[in-house]
Amino acid sequence: MGPTEILILLLATAGPTKAAIVYLGLTKNTDAQFKRQLALRSAGIAAVLCVLFALLGAGILSTLKISVEALLIAGGAILFVFALDMVIGEDKEQADSSEPPAPTLDWAAFPLAMPLMASPQGLVAIVAIEATSQTFADSLMLVGLILVVAVVNVVFMLGADRIFSKIPPAFLKVIMRIAGLLLCGLAVQIMIYGFDGLGLIPNQAVELHS
């Protein structure tokens, strides 16, 4: 996978969309300083978790004796389920319109950093990408892209008030559906890489001439 594909995958699985919506609800009655602290801390915690998974991914696989191909197939399946929910999942109504609890920076760790930004599917994707890295430069690129996503998360959360006030809800739903559809295709492609590594996909030239 190239840098662009990895960045898209990270933005989809460890990006700010869901976290920003929750962040907006939690901070609606707080001051600007608290909002800034919460955004920075939550994105920082999520970035640290993702970097740790990126750096220790190969070791985790080796210790648990999990093949790269198995992780690619499992990660692709998890990503597909996640993306499918974006495409056909029903909109969840706001179950509770009451005032949020007293503001606390503990929100940075949960639920903002994990599971919303350092999401399970995002961590699986990071481990799978790291497992296929062939050089130190590839690993360094992955860490760099994780930090880029962390910056995007901070910017998106700090601008959540302005962003969601200018985007019509219906248009946002359409964008999410299209993104989910593209992500479904990417998830299937990841699984194809895994099946191909196991030799379960026949050579195209042989298949065409058989």
Q: CA-CA distance, 55 to 123, in Å (whole number)?
A: 12
Angle at alpha carbon of residue 203, lines to 197 and 204, rounded to 5°: 130
Amino acid at 190: I
pTM of the model: 0.72
Alpha-carbon separation of residue 88 from 11, 17, 60, 181, 209 (angstroms): 20, 17, 34, 9, 39
Cβ-contact 101, 113 below 8 angstroms:
no
What are the residue ranges in the chain where pLDDT is below 70?
A: 89-101, 169, 172, 203-210
Query: Can you give the residue ranges of every domain in the chain?
Result: 3-209
Residue 97 tokens read as: 């319109």
pLDDT of 60 reads 76
pLDDT of 152 reads 96
